[in-house]
Amino acid sequence: MKNRYKNKIIKQLYCLIAAIWCFSVKPCFAQSVDLGTWNILNLKYNLDKKWSIFGEGQIRSLKFYHNFHYYEYKGGANYKIHKNITLTMGAGSYQTYNAAGNFALPKNNNEFRIWPQVILFQSIGKIKIEQRYRTELRFTSNGYRNRFRYRFGLSYPLGKEKKQYKPFQFSASNEIFFTNNEPYFERNRLLFALNYKPSKQTTIQIGYLHQFDYKINDETGRDFFQIGYFIELFQKQSTNSTIDTNIKDNQ
């Protein structure tokens, strides 16, 4: 029974990937529409029940695995001060290239960023609600800037429970970006994603992301096919460690 159920899940995952691929390639759309790609690799290491550290890399393209224009790498630490509150301090490098080709020069933006944030969690039945507040201190090639971000997200577990978790999770989130200078509003980012957890340590994410930018040049807003691979490690002695069921979005 276990093998039959596992094979069923794998088949469903393959069907989902095939469906998203079909609707992502150019022949399935009008010639005027280009779907970009948004790729994430995230590694998290839990030191204990309160402290964890992470590293993440991203690479993005304006067409389907072509016209790569952006990459970032960053790291930081999380501290869970309450079961429903997590504090984070992160920093990283964010590089945006010209949209004319693959990492075409000159760059639109060369940035180092420091970002403290707080995440609040709440559960209503099986639905998990997440609110993320972030402040960004941005040292860019065009001078210093402040930016503030607020993300509201929902997630819902799916599938037959395995030990401490369910193998699937559907999530949706919307994030707004604004500054302390006119025109204040900068960006809106909407994400729908399905996460598959083949093991306690790994999560695979497949999603659709729509980004709207308002008069900024550090990235081009459009539609993206998102795929992410998240690895979570635990101290050996932490046998009862809580499994991360947070929304799997970019840090």
What is the model's pLDDT at position 135? 98
Contact 170, 155 (CB under 8 A): yes
Contact 225, 25 (CB under 8 A): no
Is residue 184's pLDDT more than 50?
yes
pLDDT tens for 235-250 read 875 545 566 666 665 5
Q: CA 38 to CA 221: how far, in whole Å? A: 12
Give the count of alpha carbons within 13 A of 138, CB side only.
Answer: 21
Closest CA to 218 of 105, 142, 133: 142
* Domain chopping of the chain, boundaries: 2-234
Residue 64 has which token pair?
Answer: 């389907």
Question: CB-based contacts of 83: which residues, under 8 Å, 6+ apart?
Answer: 121
Residues forming beta bridges with residue 92, ordered by sequence position: 74, 113
pLDDT tens for 86-145 read 999 999 999 999 988 999 999 999 999 999 999 999 999 999 999 999 999 999 999 999
Of 14-23, 48-57, 71-80, the poorest mean pLDDT is in 14-23
Classify 2-234 by CATH class.
mainly beta
The whole-model pTM stands at: 0.83
What is the model's pLDDT at position 10? 53
What is the model's pLDDT at position 106? 93
* CB under 8 A, 24+ apart: contacts of 158-162: 159/9, 160/5
Rg for the chain, CA atoms, rounded: 19
